[in-house]
Amino acid sequence: MIETSSLATLLAQVMDDPHGAVNPPIVQSSLFAFDDYNAFEARMAGQTDEALYTRVQNPTVAAFENLMAQAEKGEAAVGFASGMAAISSTILAFIKAGDRIACIEHVYPDTYRLMERLLRPFGVEIDYYPVDAFANEPDLLKDVQLAYLESPTSMVMATTDLARVAAHARRHGVLTMIDNSWASPVFQNPLSFGIDIVLHSASKYISGHSDTVAGVVVSSQAYIARIRDLTLPLLGGKLAPFEAFLLIRGLRSLSARMRQHEETAELFIKRLKAHPLVSNIHAPELDSSPGLMGRAGLISVELSDHVDIPAFSDALKLFRLGVSWGGFESLVIPARIALAQAGDKNSVQRFGVSPNLVRVNLGLEDREDLWTDFEQALTLGANKL
Ligand SMILES: *Cc1c(COP(=O)(O)O)cnc(C)c1O
């Protein structure tokens, strides 16, 4: 193997297959049998570590986990059946009744519901702060056990200085966790700034093809061992071997896709800034976001009061209307529709997002075609009023 920090090179050399296969086998087996009594007993006693049962260990899943650990510059990783399984299993491995979590405002809505509907009734206290406060207010983490972060956040794309957050957290003995789905391991590696645990909804950029739901956590050996010992087996939100195969396939083209998303986002931001029907753009300023090495294709745009948002949405031809992001196809979700989701108050409502905001996932289609579509829909949306 060539020593490399390039994800693309790393992925090109992962296979060590006797047949010369360039893709990993999908090991579709729930259990793994032993040659004799002694080998079985040694494995059950934890003296060896070969695969035993797919709820906790599977060779295809392990191949994906090893790649993710290297991509995020961590020591170890563990895959999950969804981003939410990764998030809930990680928080529950470290938090108990009476603990206090400092969480960012505008956190992913289902993470917010996890905090409010599941953790709070179990006796966990949760306070919400703007993401930049974690870096700028050194004592914000006093008497806190866990700092839960996204940077950029996934609705309004606000960022913070992760190295400063990690330094404050160390001083107060606070565990730090970040949802790094937006940046992907290509554009940000939070562990290198001292953040303790990184997690991803692998359903987004890592899969990249809108064909699977999955999650992954990367950290030190010790923290991953705790999750593997406690919440992976007991909550059972495991990643399946076929999904792991799809995620490895996604990882192979991740760097190339992220560069394409970035170029399209740059073009959109430049043109949207000059557009009379756009009043505000939410996208991270790369100059003032230390550690962020590039721009993903997920931005939010506030349309002027002169645009009818349902008419704009219905006028789109290439962009489709839908949740999620990170795949090939470009998508739009108006904040008003996000607000309509679920009966309970969610993070979008609670922290005030403009009703004129639309979140835009810029996919891999031709960027001039995308722009033509977006612009004609703005014009039609404005003519409606
Ligand atoms: C989609 C998403 C999640 C949840 O991931 P699933 O794979 O859908 O469970 C978590 N965080 C962010 C930022 C997301 O966009």
Q: What is the mean pLDDT of the chain?
A: 93
Q: Is 333 in the pocket of ligand 1 (CB under 6 A)?
A: no
Q: Is 88 in the pocket of ligand 1 (CB under 6 A)?
A: no
Domain map (residue ranges) of the chain: 7-99+164-252, 254-383
CA 361 – ligand 1 centroid, Å: 14
The mean per-residue pLDDT over the stretch 121-145 comes to 97
Give me the pLDDT at residue 350, please: 59
pLDDT surpasses 90 at 342: no
Q: Name the token pair of 360.
A: 């835009």
Mutate to test the pocket of ligand 1, among 203, 298, 341 (most ligand atoms within 8 A of CB): 203
Q: Name the token pair of 243.
A: 């999904």
Contacts with 106 (C-beta within 8 Å, 6 or more apart), sequence order: 131, 150, 153, 154, 155, 156, 158, 347, 348, 351, 353
Give me the pLDDT at residue 95, please: 98
Q: Is 205 in the pocket of ligand 1 (CB under 6 A)?
A: no
Indicate the pTM of the whole model.
0.95
Of the listed ranges 2-11, 157-166, 265-274, the least confidently predicted one is 2-11
Give me the pLDDT at residue 336, please: 87
CA 240 – ligand 1 centroid, Å: 17
Q: Residue 176 — φ and ψ, nearest 5°?
A: -115, 135
Which residue type sits at 221? Q
Q: Is 108 in the pocket of ligand 1 (CB under 6 A)?
A: yes
pLDDT surpasses 90 at 15: no
Residue identifier of the C-alpha nearest atom 12 of ligand 1: 108
Q: Is 152 in the pocket of ligand 1 (CB under 6 A)?
A: no
Give me the pLDDT at residue 213, please: 98
User: Looking at ligand 1, which atom is closest to the CA of residue 326?
Assistant: 15
Q: Is 176 in the pocket of ligand 1 (CB under 6 A)?
A: no
The mean per-residue pLDDT over the stretch 274-281 comes to 97
Q: Is the peptide bond before 152 cis (omega within 30 degrees of 0)?
A: yes
User: Looking at ligand 1, which atom is closest to the CA of residue 150?
Assistant: 13
CB < 8 Å & 24+ apart, contacts of 51-59: 51/27, 54/29, 54/30, 54/238, 54/241, 55/232, 55/233, 55/236, 55/238, 56/228, 56/232, 56/233, 56/238, 58/27, 58/29, 58/238, 58/241, 58/244, 59/24, 59/25, 59/27, 59/241
Does 3.20.20.70 match the CATH number of domain 7-99+164-252?
A: no
pLDDT surpasses 70 at 85: yes
Q: Is 151 in the pocket of ligand 1 (CB under 6 A)?
A: no
> Alpha-carbon torsion 5, 7, 13, 15, what sign?
positive
Q: Is 213 in the pocket of ligand 1 (CB under 6 A)?
A: yes
Q: Which CATH topology does 254-383 take?
A: Aspartate Aminotransferase, domain 1 (3.90.1150)
Q: For residue 301, what is the enclosing H or E element?
A: strand 298-303
Give me the pLDDT at residue 19, please: 84
For 279-296, how does the pLDDT look when each residue is reduced to its tens digit (9 = 90+)?
999 999 888 888 899 999
CA 83 – ligand 1 centroid, Å: 5
CA 58 – ligand 1 centroid, Å: 23
CB 300 within 8 A of CB 278: no
Looking at per-residue pLDDT, the higher value among 149 and 9 belongs to 149
pLDDT surpasses 90 at 337: no
Give me the pLDDT at residue 2, please: 65
pLDDT surpasses 90 at 13: no
Looking at per-residue pLDDT, the higher value among 384 and 270 belongs to 270
With a pLDDT cut of 70, the percent of the chain lying above it is 93
Q: Is 215 in the pocket of ligand 1 (CB under 6 A)?
A: yes
Give me the pLDDT at residue 22, please: 85
CA 108 – ligand 1 centroid, Å: 7
For 152-195, how does the pLDDT look when each residue is reduced to its tens digit (9 = 90+)?
997 899 999 999 999 999 999 999 999 999 999 999 999 999 99
Give me the pLDDT at residue 17, please: 74
Give me the pLDDT at residue 14, please: 60
For 48-83, how does the pLDDT look when each residue is reduced to its tens digit (9 = 90+)?
988 999 999 999 999 999 999 999 999 999 999 999
Residue identifier of the C-alpha nearest atom 6 of ligand 1: 83
CB 227 within 8 A of CB 90: yes
